[in-house]
Amino acid sequence: MASALGSRSRNLLVASLVALSLFWPDALRAQEAAALPSHVIEEYGEPPVVPQGPLPEALRTAVDVAFVESMVESVWGSDQTAALEEIAESGDPRLAWIVSDLMRFVTDNGLHAALANVAFTLLGKESDVELHWGAVTDHLIAWDIPAPPDYLRAKRAIFTSIIPGWDKIFVEGDIDWRHVSWGGVLIDDRAYDTTDELCNCIPAADNPEVSSAEEATWLKDEDIVFGIGVNGEYRAYPRRIMEVREMVNDTLGGRHLGIPYCTLCGAAQAYYTDQLPEGIERPVLRTSGLLIRSNKVMYDVNTYSVFDTFLGNAVTGPLAEKGLQLEQASVVTTDWGTWKKAHPETTVLVEALALGRDFDFRNGRDANGPIFPIGDVDPRLPVHEDVIGAVTASGKPVAFQRSKALVALRNGEEIAYENVRLALEAGGIKAVGADGSDLGSHEAFWFAWSQFHPETALWPE
């Protein structure tokens, strides 16, 4: 579809946009922005005026022609070009969300640039040859531009025309569809316990094969692992494997677990997927291929219920209707040598699960910052600073700067916030209660923790 759009539309669309003004009156650019943090204004400038209420009928028709009919009929012609011109002339920045959604899938450079010009016209920004989908989306997120009326319908048409497997994903729910984008991979919709079944996706591992520490001669002591302990049973999940699989459905210490790893936010988490309310079967977690502000979107392959990967609650589908909230177990990020010394009885996933791949996204691909749109970031820490995150008994999220916490703990200092206490664990850190109970903590990049917990406290202040 993306290539078809590019081949049929470039000349028509570019020609039609030459006549469009790229500069709207200053009145359209100015808006009272007292509600926005100063760092947002400093980085992105003043937001545009945003109208309220429904779209005029003619504009609704233009949206349908450009973003719905063109997807259904797999065609882009003079009608779509004229509709896009009308959208640009509307000056309604809400529509930039739909333009941005289409930009994500367009591979033709001319069409992509033309769409960028329309988006930035709607946002009252000057455009240049460097504009791209990510820049448009970052502005929209940072300014918190509202979605246009009937937004999900248009977005669903775009996304499901590219990947039909998403038709059960794009439904109403407690999810901000503005922030959902494509991560560049296809949906993993394989049935449960199909670890070895090939797919054009990031393949989750179900009931993964494990070995003893002594048998894991392929792992170097300095290799990073994610350690989990449940009911006295310990297991290491090598980062090398998790970067290939990104999702594991496992059983440890007599408990079922769903373990997502978001390479983009440096966060491995563990959710209990058993002992659920009556009438709810074990969710089988899969990678959808979608992102929310650079955080992977996971879903249950049995019900197609989408979960907030960072918070563990179902946000769409039957499991959202039942209010399912998954409980977290702590994940300790450490090195293999220290983990196996602290827990010599540990098991570890076998090398074959890495599918012959050996790479480290953390030290390469993301070195210059997040590669997908995240909008504004809490400026208290650098975006890729490691933090240990937990939630207090009162419901207050708190993040601990990992580098400073390690030094303090190794010096024998106590680190506490409300009922949360940090403890050294096999070379890493986890959060426990005053009674030593597991509080379900994990490590993540600051940008990810702070955007999903915008009211988070930070240690040290």
Provide, rounded to the nearest whole percent, the portion of the chain with pLDDT above 70: 89
| Per-residue pLDDT reduced to its tens digit, 283-328 | 999 999 999 999 999 999 999 999 999 999 999 999 999 999 999 9
Band of residue 118 on the pLDDT scale cut at 50, 70, 90: very high
Residue with the bigger pLDDT between 361 and 444: it is 444
Residue with the bigger pLDDT between 289 and 108: it is 289
pLDDT of 33 reads 45
pLDDT of 128 reads 59
pLDDT of 130 reads 59
pLDDT at 9 over 80: no
pLDDT of 16 reads 37
CA separation (Å) from 311 to 56, 330, 356, 448, 456?
A: 38, 13, 32, 11, 13
pLDDT of 95 reads 97
Q: By C-alpha distance, which of 178, 262, 307 is closest to 445?
A: 262
**Helices (H) then strands (E): counts for the chain:** 15, 22
pLDDT of 96 reads 97
Domain boundaries, the chain: 2-162, 205-358, 376-459
Tokens describing residue 100 = 């941005």
pLDDT of 56 reads 95
| Per-residue pLDDT reduced to its tens digit, 13-49 | 333 333 333 333 333 333 344 488 899 999 999 999 9
Q: Mean pLDDT for the chain?
A: 88
pLDDT of 77 reads 84
Band of residue 5 on the pLDDT scale cut at 50, 70, 90: very low
Band of residue 338 on the pLDDT scale cut at 50, 70, 90: very high
Q: What is the mean pLDDT of the segment spanning 173-197? A: 91
pLDDT of 363 reads 55
Band of residue 370 on the pLDDT scale cut at 50, 70, 90: confident
pLDDT of 116 reads 87
Provide, rounded to the nearest whole percent, the portion of the chain with pLDDT above 90: 73
pLDDT of 30 reads 36
Q: What is the mean pLDDT of the segment spanning 354-379? A: 73
pLDDT at 451 over 90: yes
pLDDT at 11 over 50: no
pLDDT of 400 reads 98
| Residue 86 burial by Cβ neighbours in a 10 Å radius (0-12, 13-18, 19+) | middle
Tokens describing residue 347 = 């098991």
| Per-residue pLDDT reduced to its tens digit, 198-252 | 788 889 999 999 999 999 999 999 999 999 999 999 999 999 999 999 999 999 9
- Residue 360 gets which letter from DSSP? -
Residue with the bigger pLDDT between 240 and 126: it is 240
Q: By C-alpha distance, which of 351, 366, 402, 389 is closest to 238?
A: 351
